[in-house]
Structure 1
Amino acid sequence: MHVGKKYIKEGGFLYELVSHPKFDDYQLRVTEPKLCDPSVQQYSGYLDIAEGKHLFFWFFEARNSPKTAPLILWLNGGPGGSSTTGLLLELGPCSIADSGRNTTYNPNSWNTDANIIFLDQPVNVGFSYTDDGSKVNNSPAAGKDVYAFLELFFYQFPEYANLPFHLAAESYGGTYAPNIARIIHEQNKQLSHARITEGVRRINLASIILANGLTDPYTQMGSIADYQCDGPYPVYSDPNGPECQSLRSKIPTCQRLIKSCYQFNSRFTCVPAQLYCNTQLFAPLMKSGLNPYDVRAKCDRSKDGQLCYRQMDWIERYMNEPAVKIELGVHPSLRYETYSKEVNQAFTRRGDGMHNSALLLTDLVNDGVRLLVYAGNADAMCNFIGNERWVELLDSKFNSEFAATKPVPWILKSTGKQAGEARSAGGSGFTAGNVTFVTVFEAGHMVPYDQAEAALDLITRWTTNVPLSLH
């Protein structure tokens, strides 16, 4: 215990208690675990919100130069996916091992040269919970809670507040992150005009990183047949065969429904778009016997689980160990799941995933917040073709420059091997760019899982603003 600090005993656990005069509806409970990689400083615990919501987080300091290293917030998607899966399966300091009995050291962790927070959001995802079972069912509301979490985190740990902050999100995070970034950006603007800020900090938002994301559904759904029939790993052998013809015939209806969602922005237009596009465009893929997140691989859901990665079960086994819960400051009665069907359904019933989140990025990019979009080329769920197209269409002052760019090879310094290709606008070739799109070769939906060394190289170059074209 530290002199002069407030502590609270709750559920048999002693937490440090952090409250903020401006955020009187919120408090932070913090403990210091020694799991995963005990050689680095860690914090875990909860953001408590007045209406009985509790968001779980787990923070790791950088292995190198933590006082000057950038800070990354990592979010998995779903909606309903726990960010602990990103930690233990993709990019955290340790990787799940031995059927979930323990973890192994990850030499390619993103905390090699960055401080990193993994946050289970929205509520009722992972170890996050509500007192009464109520749900958040849309990305703007979820974004407000994430903003409050960041303000309290920086209030408690001011040493991280002035570091460059990078918001990184995967999959449905392509919808979450623009909503969160917009709130940060708007609050920052208000703070710059306020005479008294009452301890509220300007968050030093340096960039947004979207990993195999869903951001502009109209454009991305339009790419599905191109990817599945003509992509680098075709799902169907004949691009003119009946499966591909059927897919192509359904895209106009899907896009018409999405356009209606964009136009009227209501549950009554967005839910039908989501239901039609998901059932008509993805159902054949789900029945193909392939892993839709990595079409190079087969998937037997009876053995591999619904998401085609049996490590998801391993993660649940590990996170539900009583000793792990105690170390993290989690109540023993809480049951951890890698994926919440209830949260997913709540968002689906709002049609949340059919909104055009790319529109939220225009002001951010124009005001100097950098944007990195990367995608593994074996992912059929949020494929690289659709992601590249929406970045090319993004309305920003870099639009015409980006449209004129050609892909350049991205070569790993460590191996001399080409890991992918990049297109970049802004920075005149001397930086990693203001709007950058990267195709990652031989990688699926979870790039750091498939290409750990390449993913670390990418993220280190991006956060230190080093061009990907450098060999």
Structure 2
Amino acid sequence: MKVFSLFSLALIPTIFAAPADEAQIFFGETDTIRRSGLHHLPVVEGIINNGNEISHQWVEDEKQFIKQHGLTYEMVVHPQFNDYKLRITEPKLCDPTVKQYSGYLDISDDKHFFFRFFESRTSPEDAPLLMWLNGGPGCSSSTGLLLELGPCSISDRGANTTHNPHSWNAHANMIFLDQPINTGYSYSDDGRTINSSPVAGKDVYVFMELFLSRFPEYSTQPFHIAAESYGGTIAPHIANVINTENKKIPVASSGLVKINLASVILGNGITDSHVQMASIPDYLCEGPYPIYDDPNSVQCTALRNKVPTYQRIIKACDDFDSLFTCIPATFYCNYQLYAPVRRSGLNPFDARIQCDLKVALGVNPRRNFKALNDAVILPFFLRGDWMHNTPLLLEEIINDGVRLLVYAGNADMMCNYMGNERWVEQLDTVFLDEFSTAPTEQWVTMHSGKMAGTVRSAGGAGSGAGNVTFVTVYEAGHMVPHDQPEAALDMITRWIRDIPLTLDILDLTMPFEVI
């Protein structure tokens, strides 16, 4: 079965290698580990046979190590999460000027989540912690790392990498996580995957608990979850789990870390399909890059007439949550509402680009390039995971004090800016009335003075970046940090520093070069 994916993934080259080998130096002081409440496995030395895989474990300087696949990792566990282990090593790829970690979160010895970590280029001891997730579901976060906002970018036709001056780790400690399972370098031993965002949320929460317990120096800083595309569905579930678990942690907890969740950041996401799919006719007929010249044409009228049918069947999917109700909604959306996009010959993720890549490359037009893992995306789509009421999770989180930034490139046809702005307008939070009357203001980048887009915001007491903020990014498609790297860095730096995007450069109390 072929499902028309809403979300993109670019080719990840072999330059992005697996974790470093056994000869590298391990990290972490023993006294830090003792203070954190983290525990090592009580194996002194031995050979462990996990199915077809033989692992060698030993203890050195009160730290546990494990050798698997010819690689050596430090391995840590937590007494509150018996089924989870964290394997860590220290690579030198991509940006050797900053501290790096990579490795796996192992779940019950059969599921393994891969991560990369890069310290901030500026004052890492004071910088916030930011996790980046790509979409799909099934798109590796290596896409964001290598093609959008990571410390390095692909060069030499994939044979090398080059320094990225607009990396988001300019002022943030960055985590890139491949999730859900079987995405990117993450894998399951039996090949099984998951089919819902709530399940993904629990796994990421445990990862953060183990990571921050191992590295408490990052636990006191604000934590931001940033996601793109289908991450607009998954990230709110992760934030909801973290927010819920934070409330359960007693004053005298047994080694658990209260994760300092500061904000959720969603870029060109799919978050409220009921509202966003209804915006498709408006974008295709009246947007900045219309497919049809006349918004009152027969084609536009016919497209608008399909919206009520879609909203009825998507409500059935949300109400009854079964294959019998969710599969029809998925297919109706992909093959009815998105039909004009499919026929247009335009790049659905960037309306400015004509899709003639196969011709330009001399590729057989009958051959398809698979850019994401169908085995991951299909179970989510068949269950209708993206059709449920995700904004409901965000409303509680926002009312609890967690900030929300939603941004969208104005050339993306798949998760267009109109639909994203509309669902933000409808969020039933304490900022509902303020946001509904918030003006649309210009956003000019600090470094170059370029008109980058517009912003609407509520909250922030008039001096911050806001509690609920929506940004439209000009001349950008589905992957804003790729299309407008300077503007994206300006936006994220101001957001994590709580500086309004509407603030004029002359009003800044800090040198604008730092952004």
- TM above 0.5, yes or no, is yes
**TM-score when scaled to structure 1?**
0.91
The reply on whether 1:89 has 2:147 as its aligned counterpart is: yes
Residue 275 of structure 1 pairs with residue 334 of structure 2: no
Residue in 2 aligned with 1:429?
A: 462
**Residue in 1 that maps onto 2:416:** 383
CA distance in 2, matches of 1:272, 1:140: 22
Looking at structure 1, the residues matched to 360 and 302 of structure 2 have their Cα atoms a distance apart, in angstroms, of: 29
**Residue 300 of structure 1: CA displacement?**
2.6
**Where do residues 210-289 of structure 1 align in structure 2 (5 Å cutoff)?**
210-289=266-345
Using a 3 Å threshold, how does the CA distance of structure 1 residues 338 and 87 change in structure 2: closer, same or farther?
farther
5 Å matches for 1:280-319? Answer: 280-300=336-356, 302=358
Aligned partners of 1:266 and 1:376: how far apart in 2?
33
Shift in alpha-carbon separation, 1:338–1:92, aligned structure 2, 3 A:
farther
Shift in alpha-carbon separation, 1:424–1:31, aligned structure 2, 3 A: same
Which residues in structure 2 correspond to 1:341-380 (within 5 Å)? 341-380=374-413
- 1:123-142 alignment, distance < 5 Å: 123-142=181-200
Shift of 1:303: 5.9
- Alignment pair present for 1:206 and 2:239: no
Answer whether contact 1:236 1:244 (CA < 8 A) is retained. yes
Query: For the residues of structure 2 that align with 1:173 and 1:211, how far apart are their CA atoms?
Result: 8
Check conservation: 1:143, 1:180, Cα contact below 8 A. Answer: yes
The answer as to whether partners of 2:321 and 2:384 remain within 8 angstroms in 1 is no
Q: Which amino acid aligns with 2:175?
A: I
Moved more, 245-254 or 155-164: 245-254
Structure with max Cα Rg: 2
Aligned residues: 439
1:80 aligned to 2:138? Answer: yes
Deviation at 1:301, TM superposition (A): 5.2
Residue 253 of structure 2 corresponds to which residue in structure 1?
Answer: 197
| 2: CA distance, partners of 1:261 / 1:51 | 34
Q: Distance in 1 between matches of 2:178 and 2:360?
A: 23
Distance 1:304 1:89 in 2: 21
1:468 and 2:506 aligned? no
C-alpha displacement of 1:155: 1.2
Residue identity in the other structure for 2:168 = W
Q: CA deviation at 1:96?
A: 1.2
Structure 2 distance, partners of 1:237, 1:341, is: 35
Q: In 2 relative to 1, CA 449–277 (structure 1 residues): closer, same or farther, beyond 3 Å? A: same
Pick one of 458, 464, 476 that aligns with 1:443.
476
Rounded to whole Å, the distance in 1 between the matches of 2:83 and 2:351 is: 45
Root mean square deviation of aligned Cα: 1.5
* 1:3-152 matched pairs, under 5 angstroms: 3-50=61-108, 52-152=110-210
Amino acid aligned to 1:99: R
Counterpart residue type for residue 425 of structure 2: E
Separation of aligned partners in 1, 2:267 and 2:359: 27
Is the contact between residue 270 and residue 355 of structure 1 (CA under 8 Å) also seen in structure 2?
Answer: no
Residue equivalent to 1:413: 446
Partner of 2:34: none
After superposition, the C-alpha distances for 1:434-465 in whole angstroms (9 at most, x for unaligned) are 00000011110100001000000000000000
- CA offsets, 1:5-35, max 9 Å, x none? 2111111111111111111100011111111
Q: Is the 8 A contact 1:126 1:338 kept in 2?
A: no
Distance 2:456 2:178 in 1: 32
Does the CA-based 8 Å contact 2:152-2:161 persist in structure 1? Answer: yes
Higher RCO (CA 8 Å, separation ≥ 6 residues): 1
CA distance in 2, matches of 1:404, 1:263: 32
Look up the match of 1:162: 220
Query: What letter is aligned with 2:343?
Result: K
Could you tell me whether the CA contact under 8 Å between 1:419 and 1:441 is conserved in 2?
yes
Q: Tell me: CA distance 1:396–1:267, structure 2 relative to 1, closer, same or farther (3 Å).
A: farther
Corresponding letter in the other structure for 1:123: I
Q: Is 1:453 equivalent to 2:453 in the alignment?
A: no
Aligned partner of 1:173 among 194, 209, 231 = 231
Unaligned runs of 5+ in 2: 1-25, 28-60, 362-368, 505-515
